[in-house]
Amino acid sequence: MLSSAVLSFVLCLGFYVTPTILGGGRTVMIAEYITVLIQQSLDWSSASIYSILLVATLLCCAALLKLLGKVAAR
């Protein structure tokens, strides 16, 4: 179960085509911004900070979903 969650998470983070098409190139998503920081700007420190913030946000969302699941079970 954990490996399927990790695979899904990696696929979701690596999927750049749909946000580009939906945004028309005008909307920048966080994964695209991190990629630009690493590949074009070579700004590894900013990219790592944004990556840590992204992981922290995902952990908060997971904790909230778990909490809501416990409340709904009551």
Using CB atoms within 10 Å of the CB of residue 34, give its burial: 0 to 12 exposed, 13 to 18 middle, 19+ buried. Answer: buried
pLDDT in tens, 5-47: 777 776 666 566 666 666 666 667 777 788 888 888 898 888 8
Q: For 44, which DSSP code? A: H
Tokens 């700004």 found at: 43
CA angle 40, 10, 15 (to 5 degrees): 60
| 37 neighbors 43 (Cβ within 8 angstroms) | yes
pTM here is 0.57
